[in-house]
Structure 1
């Protein structure tokens, strides 16, 4: 029996090719937090806090049990032709809470974190080709912002924020590896889009400036800096960091070498 759980985008949980995601939001929240903790017990307190926050109804435990029953009904329908397994074999009751008994690697977020860790190790090893390849594989698992279609409570909000921040970090590292491999021409479109989506993130602007400069577009590289500076001054009241200003000066004065990719990071 194949179970596939995807949280890196809209929530998808398929059992034998059949979706078991409820139509109602609160049971979907419950399923999402169980999925992100696959193979581990999630306490009743954690679940009620996720669904109702600090003001649960008096019937919170009974209502939670009703949601569990709904999830098990969906599971039983998906398992009808699977031979032997029942919903209680997968969504298990424990003394303190509930456990989703699936392999952790059935969850895309867990596969992503394994690939992310391997990619970051390749970065530490200065293996740019392996870093680019592994981080790109990790990033391909994403279909949109984490849990994009759910109204999320405090627990899922923390997880979604952590995953989304890790994605941005891995994207930066993958592009950096590609720059060091001399792939600046191929990155121009992607970096232009990222700078529009994240106009005050220095890392993407720096990479865009470098890619433009190495592509023979000095004036556009300087313009990218001016856009970043204008955004930061207007919205944050601060100047770009010394690192970015130093890079700008090196490009402005033509002191940046285009021959050595690594030299771009030592200005």
Structure 2
């Protein structure tokens, strides 16, 4: 196809070729493209696409309607990327027995790069290579430039896939924080971790990170206050006590005599 394609889905949904960019504006074409791209290069079944585009109220001529949206999407890519329509049909958005497939090929695809960097960073962290892990995971995080299709109402299939990716993004962030803590970047993490505890008020893991970063920064009282706020909120709103893990961290902070004694 000549110039290598650049595909983005972790934020702006677009397919680019050199200086040309194609981005569908119609909601159903946007959702269709997102579903095909989030299919990781595998065929997406017709039933799944129908569920996303029409939910429980598909038109009587649903296959014809789906074919029309696929045709519109192919035409948009052909026009905006200056690619012959027959090549888009044969090489990019392909019809198969199992459904429709977006053939990514050797395109520069942000989702593929994100998964590669996340896997690399996790491996580096487990091997104790904290600097490399922090760099790989931070680069993976930077590929997320915004929410996926924020201005389009999601059906259940697309929402499930987006939720899965968002949970993985949270995991990547936590692994990068672990790497930064291992590198002694405690003070640099304080503002990020404080914001995270506000955004995820019952997430004990991020509270553990903040307590650790505060303690290692010489702010023992503030570290203990973080635990107390979490404990109070959980008791008042959920009728629960914090887990044994974070309670053990609180006890170790109370009994510690040196900052280095808290892992």
CA distance in 1, matches of 2:231, 2:109: 40
Aligned to 2:262, which of 251, 260, 264?
Answer: 264
**TM (normalized to structure 2)?**
0.90
Q: CA deviation at 1:15?
A: 3.7
> Aligned partners of 1:177, 1:148: CA distance in 2, in Å?
30
Match of 2:6 in 1: 4
Change (3 A) 1:102 1:26: same
2:78 is aligned to: 76
Residues 118 and 134 in structure 1, CA contact (< 8 A), matched pair in contact too: yes
Aligned counterpart in structure 2 of residue 156 of structure 1, from 146, 155, 158: 158
What SS does the aligned partner of 1:98 have? Answer: strand
Cα distance between partner residues in 1 of 2:106 and 2:21: 18
Q: Identify the match of residue 203 of structure 2 among 183, 201, 204.
A: 201
Q: Say whether the 8 Å CA contact 1:22–1:28 is kept in structure 2.
A: yes
Distance 1:29 1:164 in 2: 17
Deviations 1:173-198 (A, max 9, x none): 11111111111011111111111111
Q: Quick one: distance in 2 between partners of 1:248 and 1:169?
A: 23
Select which of 221, 224, 239 maps to 2:223: 221
Q: Quick one: which of 111, 114, 120 aligns to 2:116?
A: 114
Moved more, 24-33 or 141-150: 141-150
Change (3 A) 1:104 1:61: farther
CA positional deviation for 1:84: 9.2
Q: 1:193 to 1:256 in 2, by over 3 A?
A: farther
Change (3 A) 1:15 1:154: farther
Give 5+ residue unaligned stretches, structure 1.
Answer: none
Q: 2:207–2:227: 8 Å Cα contact kept in structure 1? A: yes
Contact map agreement 2:21 2:81 (CA 8 A) in 1: no
- The residue aligned with 1:64 is 66
Change (3 A) 1:196 1:41: same
Query: Do structure 1's residue 167 and structure 2's residue 169 form an aligned pair?
Result: yes
Residues 119-198 of structure 1 aligned to structure 2 (within 5 Å): 119-198=121-200
Query: Residues 256 and 264 of structure 1 are in contact (CA less than 8 Å); yes or no, is this contact kept in structure 2?
Result: no
- Structure 2's unaligned 5+ residue stretches are none
CA, structure 1 residues 194+244, in 2 after alignment: closer, same or farther (shift >3 Å)?
same
Q: What do the CA deviations read for 1:230-252 (whole angstroms, capped 9, x no partner)? A: 22223322111111111112223
Deviation at 1:105, TM superposition (A): 5.6
The equivalent of 2:88 in structure 1 is 87
Q: Secondary structure at the match of 2:16?
A: strand
Query: How far did 1:256 drift?
Result: 5.9
Task: Decide whether aligned partners of structure 1 residues 127 and 90 sit closer, same or farther in structure 2, where only a CA change above 3 A counts.
Answer: same
**Per-residue Cα deviation, 1:83-114 (whole angstroms, up to 9, x for no partner):** 89732132122233222122276332221111
Compute the displacement of 1:72 (Å): 1.4
